[in-house]
Amino acid sequence: MNVLILLIFISVILAALAVALFVYSVRNEDLDHSLQLSLKPLEDDR
């Protein structure tokens, strides 16, 4: 059962890292260019 503590600890770290990466990505406006790109398939190409 001791391994549970380690697993929870690592999981919390990983979750915190994931949140940090997300915040970083939002602050950097990494994905803000995407509105224009999402229109690509809709261009009239027959």
Partner 1 sequence: MIEEVQVTYDDVSVRRFLWASVLWGAVGMLVGLIIASQLAFWQLNGPGTIPWIQFGRLRPLHTNAVIFAFVGNMIFAGVYYSTQRLLKTRMASDFLSSLHFWGWQLIIVSAAITLPLGLTQGKEYAELEWFIDIAIAVIWVAFAVNFFWTLVKRHEKNLYVAIWFYIASILTIAVLHIVNSLALPSDVLHSYSAFGGVQDALVQWWYGHNAVAFFLTTPILGIMYYFMPKAIGKPVYSYRLSIIHFWSLVFLYIWAGPHHLLNSALPDWAQNLGTAFSVMLWAPSWGGMINGLLTLRGAWDKLRTDPVVKFFVAAVTFYGMATFEGPMLSIRSINALAHNTDWIISHVHGGALGWNGFMAAGMFYFLVPRLYGTKLYSERLANLHFWVGLVGIVLYMASMYVSGITQGLMWRALTPEGTLLYPNFLESISASRTMYMVRAVGGLLYLSTFLVMAYNLIKTARAGSAQTVSLTVSVEGKTAAKAAPSAAQLLVSPIMGLIVLGLILSMALGVQGKTIGVGVLVALALFALLVRALRARGVGMYGGTPWHELIEGKALLFTVLVLIAVLIGGMVQILPMVFSEQAVALARTQTPYSPLELAGRDIFRREGCYVCHTQMIRQIASESLRYGPPSEAWESMYDHPFQWGSKRTGPDLARVGGKYPDLWHFKHMQDPRSTSQGSIMPSYAFLADSRLDTERIPRVMNVMRRLGVPYDGPAIDGAVDAAKAQAKGIADGLNAQGETAAPDTELIALIAYLQKLGTDMNRPQAQK
- The residues that touch partner 1, with contacts defined as CB under 8 A, are 3, 6-7, 10, 13-14, 17-18, 21-22, 24-25, 28-35, 37-43, 45-46
Find the shortest distance in angstroms from Cβ 30 to partner 1: 4
Find the shortest distance in angstroms from Cβ 3 to partner 1: 8
How far apart (Å, rounded) are the C-alpha atoms in residues 25 and 32? 10
- What are the tokens at 28? 């950097």
Find the shortest distance in angstroms from Cβ 15 to partner 1: 10
The Cα-based distances of 24 to 10, 14, 18, 32, 46 in angstroms read 21, 15, 10, 13, 40
